[in-house]
């Protein structure tokens, strides 16, 4: 468990490499971390929120995390989108792994808002809650140890650098972790080695993003986004029984479609269905709603963002900033 005395001692010796990196270093490009974090119930300076190199979570990936966005509104406030839903998934991820999580959904929801308030950020931002097994020696039984819990954040604008342009995407040669090998429904740190390998391969080959297939060769999702395929006015998306994350943006888009009378079929989606699709797009907290205009060398939807994608993207972009009355309960203003 976290002990402030250890942190105080460690922080004197700790060299915050992130802070020391030159301005143009790839670590820093576009990333400006908040100067204050919430760490096990207290607000502390970025430099004080340190952990040991022997941390179980660092060695074995035994942790869970979340990604939440806050958006600068026209009247200068920050709108935090679906905070409670993210924190519910966070606590559920801990439960799925069997972690001894000591904070409730309500406590975590307040911690997120406290971090936004304390940092006085006046731009779009990204919040990163994390719970990980702390110092636990080498025993792999993750249910034996307590967790350390933190909420930090960054100033953040665009994951793909301009959503309207359309992404060039490939099928990954890496298979998505199966439900028999891990817990794809948990946003667990260790699951993301699979995603990192796929993302690096895609970048190396000149693509913006990769799409994972599951063990039965159906489409799953991107490395950090859910996937939608539009065909004949309907939307297809893999169901939650495939090894995907239950994305909050995915759910948001499905709810929009219900209100617009657009049919969404949650079922297996094949590569062939995607190759002949009218439109394709990803959804995710970091990415937003982002069109895919090329998939495995095939042009999708004439190579430009489709009408349906644009409609859902515009709706999403106004809802997250608290500009749409019917969805205002999803937003907390700070
Ligand atoms: C593997 C994976 N799939 C899908 C998503 C999209 O989920 P959300 O819309 O909740 O951000 C994410 C991002 O959190 C993710 O990491």
What are 263-312's pLDDT values in tens digits?
A: 999 999 999 999 999 999 999 999 999 999 999 999 999 999 999 999 99
Atom of ligand 1 nearest to the CA of 249: 9
pLDDT number for residue 1:
45
Instruction: With H, G, I as helix, E, B as strand and everything else as coil, classify residue 136.
Output: coil
Query: Quick one: which of 152, 156, 79 has its CA closest to 124?
Result: 156
Give the 3-state secondary structure of residue 243.
Answer: coil
Structure tokens at 105: 């959904």
Question: What angle, rounded to 10 degrees, do the helices at 83-97 and 248-260 form?
Answer: 130
For residue 191, give the ligand 1 atom closest to its CA: 1
| Average pLDDT value for residue range 212-222 | 98
- Give the Å distance between the CA of 62 and the centre of ligand 1: 18
| CATH class of the 4-155 domain in this structure | alpha beta
Cβ–ligand 1 distance for 306 under 6 Å, the answer no
Top-tier CATH class for 163-320:
alpha beta
Compute, in angstroms, the gap from residue 6 CA to the centroid of ligand 1.
Answer: 34
Kindly give the distance from the C-alpha atom of residue 153 to the centroid of ligand 1, in angstroms, as a whole number: 17
Beta carbon of 7 within 6 Å of any ligand 1 atom: no
Residue of the nearest CA to atom 1 in ligand 1?
A: 224
Length of the chain (residues): 334
Determine the Cα–Cα distance for residues 302 and 60; give it in Å rounded to an integer: 44
> In the chain, what is the straight-line distance between the N-terminal and C-terminal CA atoms, in Å?
31
Q: What was the pLDDT predicted at 165? A: 80
The pLDDT of residue 29 is 58
- CA 194 / ligand 1 centre spacing (Å): 14
Q: Report yes or no: 77 and 120 within 8 Å, Cβ to Cβ.
A: no
Q: Of 72-86, 142-156, 157-171, 271-285, where does mean pLDDT reach its minimum?
A: 157-171
| pLDDT at res. 137 | 86
- Determine the residue of 160, 249, 312 to mutate for testing ligand 1's pocket, defined as the one with the most ligand atoms within 8 A of the Cβ atom: 249
Q: How confident is the model at residue 96 (pLDDT cuts 50, 70, 90)?
A: very high
Catalytic residue numbers read 187
Residue-averaged pLDDT of the chain = 92
Alpha helix segments (H runs only) across the chain: 4-13, 17-20, 56-60, 83-97, 105-119, 192-204, 248-260, 271-275, 307-320
Q: Give residue limits of the domains in the chain.
A: 4-155, 163-320
The Cα–Cα gap between 149 and 41 comes to 8
Whether ligand 1 lies within 6 angstroms of the CB of 250 is answered as: yes
Predicted confidence at residue 21, as pLDDT, reads: 64
User: In percent, how much of the chain has pLDDT > 70?
Assistant: 90
Query: pLDDT digits over 173-203, tens only?
Result: 999 999 999 999 999 999 999 999 999 999 9
pLDDT at 222 over 90: yes
- State whether the beta carbon of 283 lies less than 6 angstroms from ligand 1: yes
pLDDT computed for residue 161 by the predictor: 79
Q: Is the pLDDT of residue 32 over 50?
A: yes
Say if pTM beats, i.e. exceeds, 0.85.
yes
């Amino acid at each position: 468990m976290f002990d402030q005395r250890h942190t105080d001692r460690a922080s004197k010796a700790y060299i915050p490499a992130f802070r020391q990196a030159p301005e143009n270093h790839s670590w820093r490009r576009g990333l400006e971390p908040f100067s204050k974090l919430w760490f096990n119930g207290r607000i502390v300076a970025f430099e004080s929120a340190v952990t040991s190199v022997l941390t179980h979570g660092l060695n074995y990936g035994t942790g869970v995390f979340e990604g939440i966005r806050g958006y600068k509104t026209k009247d200068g406030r920050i709108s935090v989108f679906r905070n409670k839903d993210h924190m519910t998934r966070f606590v559920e991820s801990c439960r799925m792994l069997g972690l001894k999580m000591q904070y409730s959904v309500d406590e975590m929801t307040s911690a997120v808002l406290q971090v936004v308030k304390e940092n006085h950020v006046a731009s779009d931002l990204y919040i990163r809650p994390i719970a990980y097994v702390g110092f636990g020696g080498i025993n792999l039984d993750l249910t034996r140890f307590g967790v350390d819990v933190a909420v930090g954040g960054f100033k953040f604008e665009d994951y793909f650098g301009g959503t309207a342009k359309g992404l060039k995407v490939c099928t990954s040669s890496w298979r998505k972790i199966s439900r028999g090998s891990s817990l794809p429904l948990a946003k667990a740190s260790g699951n993301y080695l699979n995603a990192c390998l796929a993302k690096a391969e895609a970048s190396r080959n000149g693509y913006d993003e990769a799409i994972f297939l599951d063990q039965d060769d159906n489409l799953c999702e991107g490395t950090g986004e859910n996937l939608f395929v539009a065909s004949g006015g309907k939307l297809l998306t893999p169901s939650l029984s495939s090894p995907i994350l239950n994305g909050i943006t995915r759910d948001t888009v499905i709810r929009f479609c219900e209100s617009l009378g657009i049919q969404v079929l949650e079922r297996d989606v094949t590569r062939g269905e995607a190759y002949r699709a009218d439109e394709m797009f990803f959804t995710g907290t970091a990415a937003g709603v982002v069109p895919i205009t090329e998939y495995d060398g095939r042009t999708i939807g004439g190579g430009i963002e489709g009408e349906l994608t644009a409609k859902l993207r515009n709706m999403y972009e106004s809802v997250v900033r608290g500009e749409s009355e019917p969805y205002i309960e999803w937003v907390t203003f700070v």
